[in-house]
Amino acid sequence: MPARNIYHDTVVRALIADGWTITHDPLTVSYGGKDLFVDLGAERRAIAAEKSGQRIAVEIQSFLSPSIVRDLQEAVGQFEVYRTLLSETEPGRLLYMAVPRRVQQALLVEAFGNLIITRLQLRLLVFDEQEAKIIQWTS
């Protein structure tokens, strides 16, 4: 079992405050004899107008190394592996990459970050590290 991200508890609190129920901590994804661990699995219960609830997986990224671009490269690689496996094992569960607001402001709102997000169709959950709340969902 991998070590928890430094923002793990912050993202858990933010998801719960946003109406999500944490169902897996971590979410185990097994395929071909290999087990991988996405940080969180969560579910939002259906409301009367919906036929079923929403299920997501959340991989939390901290971006703490000296190179924010290198951290993004590693995060995207991990995201793609998890997304591929989830598409086979749980096709109804959407994968999100949780990133701190400072990363969004420093990299992801710029042309470089926008290109990566758009072309790779990354789903992001941007959270405020201090207030433990979700600032933005990007699909």
Q: Does the residue 3 lie in any domain?
A: no
Q: Does the residue 2 lie in any domain?
A: no
Average model confidence (pLDDT) for the chain?
94
Which amino acid is it at 41?
G
pLDDT, greater one: 70 or 1: 70
Query: Cα separation of 55 and 99, whole Å?
Result: 19
Tokens describing residue 64: 């703490």
Residue with token string 């971590």: 26
pTM to 2 decimals?
0.93
pLDDT band at 19 (very low <50, low <70, confident <90, very high): very high
Which amino acid is it at 97?
M
Q: Does the residue 109 lie in any domain?
A: yes
Q: Does the residue 1 lie in any domain?
A: no
Query: Cα separation of 134 and 131, whole Å?
Result: 9
Which region, left, alpha or beta, applies to residue 93 given φ > 0 means left and ψ of -120 to 50 means alpha? beta
pLDDT at 3: 80
User: What is the tally of structural domains in the chain?
Assistant: 1
pLDDT at 45: 80
CATH of residue 56: 3.40.1350.10
Residue 49 pLDDT greater than 60, yes or no: no
Q: What is the pLDDT of residues 76-127, one digit of tens each?
A: 999 999 999 999 999 999 999 999 999 999 999 999 999 999 999 999 999 9
Domain containing 24: what range?
A: 8-44+52-138
Q: In percent, how much of the chain has pLDDT > 90?
A: 90
Contact present, 126 and 104 (Cβ < 8 Å): yes
Q: Dihedral (C-alpha) 55, 42, 38, 109: value to the nearest 10 degrees?
A: 80
